[in-house]
Amino acid sequence: MRTWNNTKVADFILMGLTDSGEIQVTLSALFLLIYLITVLGNLGMILLICLDLQLHTPMYFFLTHLSFIDLSYSSVITPKTLEKLLTSTKNISFVSCFTQLFFFVLFAATECVLLSTMAYDRYVAICKPLQYPVIMSSRLCYSLLTGSYITGLLDSSVNVLCISTLHFCNSNVVHHFFCDISPILALSCTDTYGIEMMIFVLAGATLMMSLITIAMSYVSILSTILKIKSTSGKQKAFSTCASHLLGVTVFYGTMIFTYLKPKKSYSLGKDQVASVFYTIVIPMLNPLIYSLRNKEVKNAFFRVMQKRVPTRQLK
C-alpha cells in the first residue's frame, strides 16, 4: 500500500447518494438531463451575449462569466457523479479527489464574489444612471472580474493546502458523492481544529464580505426605487435586478447552510441534499432565471434568430 503525505490509505472511496440500484438509475437519468440543460443553457447564454451587440454592457459581461463559472463547477462534479452512479467503481485517487476539491472551491468562491460584483453593477445602474457609463468602465469591469477569480484561487489554494497536510490512517470512505471539505475533514485521524477554524474563517470572510456588498447595494436600490413616483418606473427599475436577487438568494442560502457551521454539525442527509442543489441544480437554474425573466435577453434571442434565418434562405 503506497503512502501519500504520511497517509496510510491508498485511495478514497466515494459512497455516493444511495446503494439502491433502481434509485441510482433514476438519479443518473435525472442528473444527465439536468447537466445537458446546464450545458446548453450556459453555453447558449454565452453565445447569445457574444453575438448580440446590444448585450455588450457591464451587466452582461459579468453574466457571461457567471455562465462560464456555473458550467465549469457543474462539470467538475456532475460527470464524476454520473460515473459513480452508473458503474460499480467507487474509488477515487488522492490526486483526483484534491483536484476536484480545488476546482470546486475555486469556482464556488469566485461565483460568491462575482454575484456581489453584479449587485454593485445594479446599484450603479439604478442609483447613479447618468454616471453609469463612466463608473462602470471597461477597466473597472476587468478589475472586478480579476479580483473575483483571484479570491477564488486564494480560497481554493488555502483549502487544499490545509487539508493536504492532514493524515488519513483509519478510514478512507468519504460519505458523500464528491470530494467536499466537511466529509474529508471527518476522515482525518489527526486534530483538525486549527485547520477547520482557518477554513471556517476564510469561507466566512468571503461570504460575509460578498453578502455585505450585496446587502448595501440592495438597500440603496430599494431606497431609490421607493422614491420613484410612477408605478411603471418602479417596475422597470425592480425588473433590472429581480433576476440577480433571486439567483443570489438561492445560491447563498444553500452555501451558508452547508459551510458556515463547525464539523460537528455535519449531517450526511441534509448536506447531501443541499450539495446536490448547489452543485447540480443551481447551475441549470441560473441561465433560466436570467433569460426567462429578462426581456433584453428574449429580444436579443429573436434578433439573433432573425439575422440567421434570411441567410439560410438565400443559400
Q: What is the pLDDT of residues 245-287, one digit of tens each?
A: 888 888 887 777 766 555 555 555 566 777 888 888 889 988 8
Closest CA to 144 of 166, 169, 119, 167: 119
First to last CA, the chain: 64
Q: Using an 8 Å Cβ cutoff, are 45 and 63 in contact?
A: yes
pLDDT at 101 over 90: yes
Closest CA to 159 of 101, 205, 206: 101
Closest CA to 44 of 291, 235, 234, 256: 291
Looking at residue 312, what is its pLDDT? Answer: 45
pLDDT at 311 over 50: no
**Kind plus residue range of the DSSP H or E element containing 174:** strand 173-174
Looking at residue 265, what is its pLDDT? Answer: 52
Judged by DSSP in three states, 92 sits in: strand
Q: pLDDT grade, residue 1 (50/70/90)?
A: very low
Cell 429573436 maps to which residue?
302
Q: pLDDT grade, residue 17 (50/70/90)?
A: confident
Q: pLDDT grade, residue 314 (50/70/90)?
A: very low
* Angle, CA 75 vertex, CA 74 and CA 76 arms, to 5°: 90
Of the options 1.20.1070.10, 3.40.50.300, 1.10.3720.10, 3.40.50.20, the CATH number for the domain spanning 12-314: 1.20.1070.10
The share of the chain scoring above pLDDT 90, in percent, equals 36
Q: Are strands 12-14 and 173-174 parallel, antiparallel or unpaired?
A: parallel
226 CB-near residues (< 8 Å, 6+ apart)? 234
From the number of C-beta atoms within 10 Å of its C-beta (0-12, 13-18, 19+), residue 264 rates as exposed
pLDDT at 45 over 60: yes
* Angle, CA 48 vertex, CA 47 and CA 52 arms, to 5°: 120
Closest CA to 57 of 289, 304, 306, 297: 297
Closest CA to 96 of 217, 178, 187: 178
Closest CA to 92 of 11, 2, 164, 176: 11
What pTM value is reported for the model? Answer: 0.87
Give the three cell numbers for residue 290. 436570467
Q: What is the pLDDT of residues 221-249, one digit of tens each?
A: 989 888 887 777 777 777 777 777 888 88
Lowest mean pLDDT, pick from 19-23, 103-107, 204-208: 19-23
Lowest mean pLDDT, pick from 5-19, 77-91, 128-142: 5-19
Looking at residue 43, what is its pLDDT? Answer: 94
Query: Mean of the pLDDT values across residues 87-101?
Result: 87
Q: For the chain, what's the residue count?
A: 315
Closest CA to 277 of 239, 249, 242, 240: 249
